[in-house]
Amino acid sequence: MNQKIRYKNSGQSSNEKKIDLNSGSAYWSIEGASVQFTWFDVPANTSFSTHNHESEQITYVLEGELFFKSENSIYKLSAGDCILIPGNIDHEAWTEAMPAIAIDAWSPVNKHFTANENSLNK
């Protein structure tokens, strides 16, 4: 397979935002053959219900607060905090009164956050 360099700048990204149908969060993504980077704008009082995925996930919070729950543990992430979620682990995420802007790194690619039926163009 012939790989190409992919590039997004902030102007392009704002024009390519999508809305996740499950949570209502805005996002954009860039992905390669086995790695993906996704930017999220998660409104206040938003929930990503319990789910799992094959991909390992690293979430880094840029602004606001984002909560994660897995098994009996709850993690509160603020700006500068990050979490690693192994693949195939049930977890949920949400915001409370404060919205969040966060980035995720995925490996392998999480097809839910590529151009597909789970999102709408904004």
Average pLDDT, the chain: 89
Task: Identify the DSSP state of 92.
Answer: E
Q: Tens digits of per-residue pLDDT, 27-63? A: 999 999 999 999 999 999 999 999 999 999 999 999 9
For 18-121, the fitting CATH number among 3.40.190.10, 1.10.238.10, 2.60.120.10, 3.30.750.200 is 2.60.120.10
Q: Tens digits of per-residue pLDDT, 95-121? A: 999 999 999 999 999 998 886 545 555
Query: Which pair of structure tokens corresponds to residue 110?
Result: 């999480």
* Distance of alpha carbon 85 from alpha carbon 55, whole angstroms: 9
Q: Is the pTM of this model over 0.75?
A: yes
Q: Tens digits of per-residue pLDDT, 54-106? A: 999 999 999 999 999 999 999 999 999 999 999 999 999 999 999 999 999 99
pLDDT for res 117 = 47
Q: What is the residue extent of each domain of the chain?
A: 18-121
End-to-end alpha carbon distance in the chain:
31
Q: Among residues of the chain, what percentage have pLDDT more than 90?
A: 70
